[in-house]
Amino acid sequence: MTSFYYTDAMMTLDDKTAQERIQALREKLNTHNYLYYVLDTPEITDTAYDALYQEILALEREHPELVTPDSPTQRVGDEPLKEFSQVTHINRLYSLDNAFSIEDLQNWEERIKRLLPAERYSELSYVAELKLDGLAITLIYEDGHFVKGATRGNGVVGEDITQNLKTIRSIPLRIPVKNTKTPVPQKFEARAEAVMPINSFLHLNEERQQRGEPEFANPRNACAGSLRQLDPKVPAHRNLDALFYAGILIENGHQPPIPTHWEMLNYIESLGFKLNPARKQCKTLDEVAEFIEKWGKQRTKLGFATDGAVVKVDSFALQEILGYTAKSPRWAIAYKYPAEVKETIVKEVELSVGRTGVITPIAIMEPVQLAGTTVRRASLHNFDEVRKKDIRVGDTVRVQKAAEIIPEVLEVVFEKRPESSINIEEPQNCPVCEATTTRFHGEVAIRCSNPETCGAQRRTRLEYWVSKQGMDIDHVGPALIDQLVREKLVDGPVDFYKLMVDDFLKLERMAEKSALNAYQSIQESKKRPLHAVVNALGIPHVGKETAILLTHHFHSMEKLADASIEELMEIEGIGPKVAESIVGFFGDIENQNMIADLKALGITMHSKAATEDMLPKDTSHPFYGKIFVLTGTLPTLTRDEAEEGIRKVGGKISSSISKKTDYLLLGENPGSKYDKAAKLNIPILEESEFKALL
Q: Contact positions toward Zn ion, by CB under 5 A?
A: 430, 432-433, 435, 448, 454
Nearest distance, CB of residue 437 and Zn ion, angstroms = 8
Question: Hey, what's the torsion of the CAs at 283, 286, 287, 288, to 10 degrees?
Answer: 100
What is the rounded CA–CA span in Å between residue 268 and residue 184?
10
Count each helix (H run) and each strand (E run) in the chain, helices first: 26, 22
DSSP string, 36-84: IIIS----S-HHHHHHHHHHHHHHHHH-GGG--TTSGGGSS-PPPPSSP
CA dihedral angle for residue 339, residue 344, residue 347, residue 353, rounded to 10 degrees: 0
394 by Cβ neighbours in 10 Å (0-12 / 13-18 / 19+) ranks as middle
Q: Where are the beta strands (DSSP E) in 252-357?
A: 279-282, 306-313, 332-336, 341-353
Measured from the CB atom, the residue of 438 and 523 that comes closer to Zn ion is 438
Q: Whose Cβ is closer to Zn ion: residue 332's or residue 448's?
A: 448
Q: Which of 437, 436, 457, 453 is nearest to 445 (CA)?
A: 437
Report the residue number, 91 or 453, with the smaller CB distance to Zn ion. 453
308 CB-near residues (< 8 Å, 6+ apart)? 98, 130, 131, 334, 335, 336, 337
Query: What string of DSSP letters covers 535-589?
Result: HHTT-TT--HHHHHHHHHHH-BHHHHHH--HHHHHTSTT--HHHHHHHHHHHHSH
The reply to whether omega before 176 is within 30° of 0 (cis) is: yes
Q: What minimum distance in Å lies between the beta carbon of 430 and Zn ion?
A: 3
Distance, CA of 230 to CA of 65 (rounded, Å): 27
Q: How far is the CB of 356 from Zn ion (least distance, A)?
A: 11
Residues 6+ apart with CB under 8 A from 19: 63, 66
**Is 149 in a helix, a strand, or coil?**
strand
What is the closest distance, in whole angstroms, from the C-beta atom of residue 205 to Zn ion in the complex?
A: 22
- The nearer residue to Zn ion, 17 or 591, going by C-beta atoms, is 591
Decide whether 459 or 552 has the Cβ nearer to Zn ion: 459
Smallest distance from the beta carbon of 157 to Zn ion, in angstroms? 52
CA distances to 587, 590, 604, 648 from 601, in Å: 21, 16, 9, 22
**Strands of 663-666's sheet in order across:** 652-654, 627-631, 663-666, 684-686
355 vs 544 by CB, closer to Zn ion: 355
How far apart CA 549 and CA 571 sit, in angstroms, is: 8
The half-sphere exposure of 677 on its side-chain side, counting CA atoms within 13 A, is: 26
Nearer to Zn ion, 273 or 585 (CB): 585
Residue 646 near residue 611 (C-beta atoms within 8 A): no
Report, in Å, the least distance between residue 432 CB and Zn ion: 5
Task: Tell the smallest beta-carbon distance from residue 355 to Zn ion (Å).
Answer: 12
Q: Compute the least distance from the CB of residue 434 to Zn ion, in Å.
A: 7
Residue 599: strand pairing partners: none
Quick one: which of 355, 594, 581 has its CA closest to 470?
355
- Rounded to the nearest 5 degrees, what angle is found at the Cα of 121, between the Cα atoms of 117 and 122? 135
CA distances from 54 to 9, 47, 163, 212, 281 (A): 11, 10, 21, 36, 43
Give the nearer residue to Zn ion in terms of CB position, either 344 or 457.
Answer: 457
Q: Buried b vs exposed e over 547-578: b needs ≥16 C-beta within 10 Å? A: bbbbbebbbbbbebbebeeebbeebeebeebb
H-helix or E-strand spanning residue 598: helix 589-600
Nearest Cα residue to 133 out of 317, 420, 433, 337: 337
Can you tell me the distance from the alpha carbon of 441 to that of 212, in angstroms, rounded to the nearest whole number? 11
Looking at the Cβ atoms of 125 and 450, the one nearer to Zn ion is 450
| Between 275 and 435, CB nearer to Zn ion | 435
513 is catalytic: no
Cβ distance 161 to 175 under 8 Å?
no
Q: In whole angstroms, how close is the CB of 455 to Zn ion at the nearest point?
A: 7
* Closest of 360, 80, 346 to residue 205, by C-alpha: 360
Distance in Å, CB of 456 to Zn ion, minimum: 6
Shortest approach of Zn ion to residue 331 CB, angstroms? 60
E strand or H helix at 129: strand 126-132
Cβ distance to Zn ion smaller for residue 197 or 357: 357
CB of 95 to Zn ion, least distance (A): 50
Q: Which of 82, 131, 181, 577 is catalytic?
A: 131
- Of the pair 455, 575, the CB lying nearest Zn ion is at 455
Task: Give the active site residues.
Answer: 131
